[in-house]
Amino acid sequence: MTRIVKFFETTLRDGEQTPGINYFAEEKLEIARALADMGFDTLDCGFAISGEPEFEAIRLIARNVSTAEICSICRCFPGDIDRAWEAVQDAAQGSIHPFISTSPLHREAKLGKTRAEVLELARTGVARGRQHTPNVDFALEDTTRTEHDFIFEVIDAVMKEGARFVALCDTVGFALPWEFGELVDEVRREFPTIRISAHCHDDLGLAVANALTALMHGAERVDTCVNGLGERAGNAATEEVVMAIRTRRKDLDLDVRVDTTKIIPTSRLIARLSGMRPQWTKAVVGANAFAHGGGIHQDGVLKDTRTYEIMRPEDIGLPPSERRMFVGKLSGRAALNAQLKELGYDLTPDQLARAFQLVKVILGKKRVLEEMDLRRCAEAAMSPTADVEALALETVGEDGRE
């Protein structure tokens, strides 16, 4: 039976750790509402102990968003754990997420703690959390650089204390997909009843591949951020994981219970509030994700969009009118014709040929055509006396390139 993937949506926590982002409480609430409306299971809303504004923002979300589980993360110290629970305790469904670094590098260089000390903190952290709620998940920070016998020791301890999900974390984006898959296999062999969440970073551009691999190997849940935000190169992008699963669900035998038509509105909301627009070629939500530049591609898409598009714009909430035919140096007559039709020009084949010639001349001198340029081309092409070369010069000015 097709398995429904769960999401630990961390746009409001790891995503806000993106250097340069700082949401105010009302903005965090707006984002939380958008994510809850999309159908994500758990919203990781922040680090309650990190300060008063963050605590207040998490509590505001907990009190106002009831359709998703509201989570705060915490270190394994009693004060952290109690504060995290205090922030989410008013939620219809609240959870807390203690974590500790387990890798030798982090133990020695960052924490200055032995294996035994880290193990004890993990155990007591979960035990303390469980005094507040059964919804205690535990993360082994930097799992993928941790000795496997120690991973097992820690998991054994936290499961005995009643941890619900265990997050295997590729905190520094170091894992290769097959390694991460093997890790999930090994852990599941050792702990058949474990529920795994996969936390993957994108330092090598492998976050989504690692997350999907973990799911294929039996992880139940993935940690993701909209627009791929997060520490450094970011986390596995929510929209990419969602659409990879939805688009290939038959082959993966997985699916999502997410309203994909809210992907673009939510991505744009976060781009606006974070001040960070996704790169143009970003999968799913980039401005060019449904734009076509080459003449052969444009001709194909104009005949049947499926020739070069594996998703439908409407499925992610992108108005079909925003599917762009880019008229550039490499584009063809079909795209130009389509573009001119949208501007209200219906050219004969001869006129189109003249307009096309004019476009190419202009694009030898100017990088990008604007709407006015296209209009001039169409009008010149329709006037039998127009001098194409002279018009091109007039359009771009005497000094040529911008």
Closest CB 201 distance from Mn ion, rounded Å: 6
Closest CB 225 distance from Mn ion, rounded Å: 9
Closest CB 174 distance from Mn ion, rounded Å: 12
Residue 76 or 318: which CB sits closer to Mn ion? 76
Residue 48 or 391: which CB sits closer to Mn ion? 48
CA gap 338, 322 in Å, rounded: 13
Residue 141 or 153: which CB sits closer to Mn ion? 141
Residue 14 or 80: which CB sits closer to Mn ion? 14
For residues 180 and 187, is the Cβ–Cβ distance under 8 A? Answer: no
CA gap 353, 19 in Å, rounded: 50
Q: Three-state SS for 364?
A: coil
CA gap 352, 363 in Å, rounded: 16
Q: By C-alpha distance, which of 133, 188, 194 is closest to 160?
A: 194
For residues 362 and 396, is the Cβ–Cβ distance under 8 A? Answer: yes
Residue 138 or 290: which CB sits closer to Mn ion? 138
Q: By C-alpha distance, which of 147, 149, 171, 167 is closest to 159?
A: 167
Q: Which of residues 204-223 bind Mn ion (CB under 5 A)?
A: none
Closest CB 14 distance from Mn ion, rounded Å: 4
For residues 242 and 257, is the Cβ–Cβ distance under 8 A? Answer: no
Name the residue whose CB lies closest to Mn ion. Answer: 14
Closest CB 246 distance from Mn ion, rounded Å: 24
**Which amino acid would we find at residue 368?**
V
Residue 14 or 299: which CB sits closer to Mn ion? 14
C-alpha torsion sign, points 128, 121, 172, 185? negative
Closest CB 314 distance from Mn ion, rounded Å: 33
Residue 171 or 395: which CB sits closer to Mn ion? 171
Q: By C-alpha distance, which of 185, 127, 191, 130 is closest to 156?
A: 191
Pattern 5-44, Mn ion, x by CB under 5 A: ---------x------------------------------
Q: By C-alpha distance, which of 223, 253, 249, 254 is closest to 238?
A: 223
Closest CB 377 distance from Mn ion, rounded Å: 50
Pattern 266-305, Mn ion, x by CB under 5 A: ----------------------------------------
Q: 244: left (phi > 0), else alpha (psi -120 to 50), else beta?
A: alpha
**Which amino acid would we find at residue 198?**
A
Number of amino acids touching Mn ion (CB under 5 A): 1
Residue 224 or 298: which CB sits closer to Mn ion? 224
Q: Three-state SS for 95?
A: strand
Cβ atoms within 10 Å, residue 331: 25
Structure token digits, residue 162 = 């009643």
Closest CB 45 distance from Mn ion, rounded Å: 15
Residues lying near Mn ion in the complex (CB under 5 A): 14
